[in-house]
Chain A
């Protein structure tokens, strides 16, 4: 069964159409990078999959079901800048929020929930900072905390929106390492990214530019004519032995 099945999806903000007729099927057990220029609708695609934006048409199914029935099985990591880091909340409180998806109204997190959150914090190597207010962390550490929150949710689909912005190299490596582990456990990992140099880390790429330009392995997607279409000539590709050089 497909983890994500998108059929003919279109999304508009007001009169501005951001995504046009996207049709896409994604299998579980993969790490998918979503690439495209600014305004290509990368974040919009994630939000539409999450059912946060009313689509103009088309539909999204997760494991064959409607999104609303699947919420607890989808973990989402928003862009770091989307939250106020001065918010009076500790690192461990944020990670515990990952458990909320499994808790009904009025239910308090149980001991088992706290243990899962603590374990997630350990996975991202942030246990010593559990009692810090989140604003006292560096960008990389904040991103790790967000990832830990998603891990605490124990979902089947993980969606990350630009997790590598303002993040140190060690954290970037650590995040990739954890995401690969998730993929090896059969989870689907979807990462919005604008830095093409990380493309090799993913085993499938989605190339967007308002519509779906290409979906496939790096070799299938990184063709000059496809990149040309996605970035409309704003970047050229030089192939060299076993790697590409992207020139803006």
Chain B
């Protein structure tokens, strides 16, 4: 006999195990589906309360000699009504009302079950089994009750899907179009009570709420639609029930606790590993984005250095980006692996940009400058801040965004600082001009570009009325400062600042 048979088939030779399996499957499905409504309506606490409140019902049923099922449903629904009544008719809030009602009902149940009269009638069923379940003791009669209850509950949920959905999502609007919201609420309470009573045998009073909430909560992390959430929850409920049941059989553990623990582990799994919203996925996305941003910044710097004819060594790149050398070296290796950059190797190692890397760098620059243009023109962001903001956006936005921006902006050729915006093919078609500090005296010039970094120089120049398209005339130049004629006034700027300005001859 194989291991599979030993683990999964062998236990089924016992009749009690067959019944337990069917019961676990049924309960796993029903609880999980009903639980989805409990989660989206934030009624988890109420579910817990009803589960505890079925206890006195069980005791009373035994005492009076009718099926415990009806006693349990009775006190469950009564508790839900009581909580509703207290919440509406006093200033006590719902959570407090729940706390009062369910502990009182639970205490009453424990009290009744500890009396001799009840114990005699209970015929050996002990309190422990009601509290924590005893799925291995399910009778065929129990099974039939669970199946009928489950069918009723699921049928109601399917038939009233539309009404329950609107009522759960937006109760005010549900009432506005005339749905009987009070009826729907108490119907939900009835379904909840039925489900809990059906699950008593498998997981017991204390853990019943776990089978309602945990599979649904797990599915909530993984899905975007209620019907899908219900299907996934049912799958998780079934998986937990089966695994827990076999575990309890082979290792001789409490069946209810095993089932709930497996469900709990599945939830933790989804919490950490969910593909979009899981903790790990988010962490990885953040990391990935950070790494990508750093690599792109580095690529761009190498491109700029190469354009200026500077040899890009690791030390120079590190200094230009103001980041640690070791960090830069790691980044450069990644760029080489990407095929964006080539290394010369050897002791004087320097890096050159490959055609593929150049294309990528130009794409980035294009995106950056288009964003700057957009931010300067269409938002009220001050010109000094657009560089930093565009720097953030260029890494976030997909490539086609650049085309859309360009269209919307009417195909600008320069960014707000006067830097040329490359075409999608990477061509730069504008005369870059000359730095102002080398421009001849008394010759009218037009500003075509102002460096956007450092920010202090940019804002200083802007404050003195120097902007793109402005015509200027150098009146006097000393080692430290330059006197400029701007329209009808004269401004003095530090000589260093003039390096940040490019000009062409006025037409």
Seen from chain A, the residues whose Cβ lies within 8 Å of a Cβ on chain B are 47, 50, 52, 68, 71-72, 74, 76, 78, 82-84, 87-90, 93-94, 97, 100-101, 103, 105-109, 133, 153
- Which residues of B sit under 8 angstroms from A106, Cβ to Cβ? 159-160
Can you give 18 A-B contacts (C-beta < 8 A)? A50-B175, A50-B176, A71-B177, A72-B178, A76-B177, A82-B172, A84-B42, A87-B40, A87-B168, A87-B169, A88-B220, A88-B224, A88-B229, A89-B169, A89-B225, A101-B177, A101-B178, A109-B162
- A97 near B173: Cβ-Cβ < 8 Å: yes
- A78 near B170: Cβ-Cβ < 8 Å: yes
- A97 near B166: Cβ-Cβ < 8 Å: yes
- B172 near A105: Cβ-Cβ < 8 Å: no
Closest-CB distance, A242 to chain B (whole angstroms): 25
Out of A47, A71, A83, name the residue touching B178 (CB < 8 Å).
Answer: A71
Which residue on chain A has the smallest CB distance to residue B170?
A: A83
Out of A76, A90, A107, name the residue touching B173 (CB < 8 Å).
Answer: A76
- A52 near B172: Cβ-Cβ < 8 Å: yes
Looking at B42, B169, B226, the one whose CB has the most chain A CB atoms below 10 A away is B169
Q: Does B149 contact A (CB under 8 A)?
A: no
Q: What's the Cα separation between A79 and B59 when bound, in Å?
A: 47
Interface residues of B in 42-90 (CB under 8 A from A): 42
- B173 near A88: Cβ-Cβ < 8 Å: no
Q: What's the Cα separation between A145 and B5 when bound, in Å?
A: 54
Q: What's the Cα separation between A78 and B224 when bound, in Å?
A: 22
Q: Does B481 contact A (CB under 8 A)?
A: no
With A83-B169, A88-B226, A100-B162 already in contact, the answer to whether A52 and B40 are too (CB < 8 A) is no
- A74 near B176: Cβ-Cβ < 8 Å: yes
Q: What's the Cα separation between A88 and B228 when bound, in Å?
A: 9
- B172 near A76: Cβ-Cβ < 8 Å: yes
- Which residues of A sit under 8 angstroms from B168, Cβ to Cβ? 87
Classify the interface of chain B: helix, strand, loop or mixed.
helix
Out of A52, A105, A108, A109, name the residue touching B176 (CB < 8 Å).
Answer: A52
Seen from chain B, the residues whose Cβ lies within 8 Å of a Cβ on chain A are 40, 42, 159-160, 162-163, 165-166, 168-170, 172-173, 175-179, 220, 223-226, 228-229
Q: What's the Cα separation between A108 and B160 when bound, in Å?
A: 10
- Which residues of B sit under 8 angstroms from A47, Cβ to Cβ? 172
Looking at B42, B163, B172, B229, the one whose CB has the most chain A CB atoms below 10 A away is B172
Closest-CB distance, B405 to chain A (whole angstroms): 16
Looking at A74, A84, A108, A153, the one whose CB has the most chain B CB atoms below 10 A away is A84
Closest-CB distance, A178 to chain B (whole angstroms): 18
With A68-B178, A78-B172 already in contact, the answer to whether A88 and B163 are too (CB < 8 A) is no
Q: What's the Cα separation between A87 and B39 when bound, in Å?
A: 10
Closest-CB distance, A137 to chain B (whole angstroms): 12
Closest-CB distance, B453 to chain A (whole angstroms): 31
- A89 near B226: Cβ-Cβ < 8 Å: yes
- A89 near B159: Cβ-Cβ < 8 Å: no
- Which residues of B sit under 8 angstroms from A88, Cβ to Cβ? 40, 220, 223-226, 228-229
Q: What's the Cα separation between A106 and B179 when bound, in Å?
A: 12
Closest-CB distance, B339 to chain A (whole angstroms): 35
- Which residues of A sit under 8 angstroms from B178, Cβ to Cβ? 68, 71-72, 101
Out of B40, B160, B162, name the residue touching A103 (CB < 8 Å).
Answer: B162
Looking at B40, B42, B163, B177, the one whose CB has the most chain A CB atoms below 10 A away is B177
Looking at A50, A68, A107, A153, the one whose CB has the most chain B CB atoms below 10 A away is A50
- Which residues of B sit under 8 angstroms from A109, Cβ to Cβ? 162
Q: What's the Cα separation between A106 and B172 when bound, in Å?
A: 20
Q: What's the Cα separation between A87 and B159 when bound, in Å?
A: 20
- Which residues of A sit under 8 angstroms from B42, Cβ to Cβ? 84
Which residue on chain A has the smallest CB distance to residue B229?
A: A88
Looking at A76, A82, A100, A133, the one whose CB has the most chain B CB atoms below 10 A away is A100
Closest-CB distance, B423 to chain A (whole angstroms): 28
With A88-B220, A88-B223 already in contact, the answer to whether A105 and B169 are too (CB < 8 A) is no
- B173 near A89: Cβ-Cβ < 8 Å: no
- B176 near A133: Cβ-Cβ < 8 Å: no
Supplied contacts A71-B178, A78-B172, A100-B163, 4 more A-B pairs, CB within 8 Å:
A78-B173, A88-B220, A106-B159, A106-B160
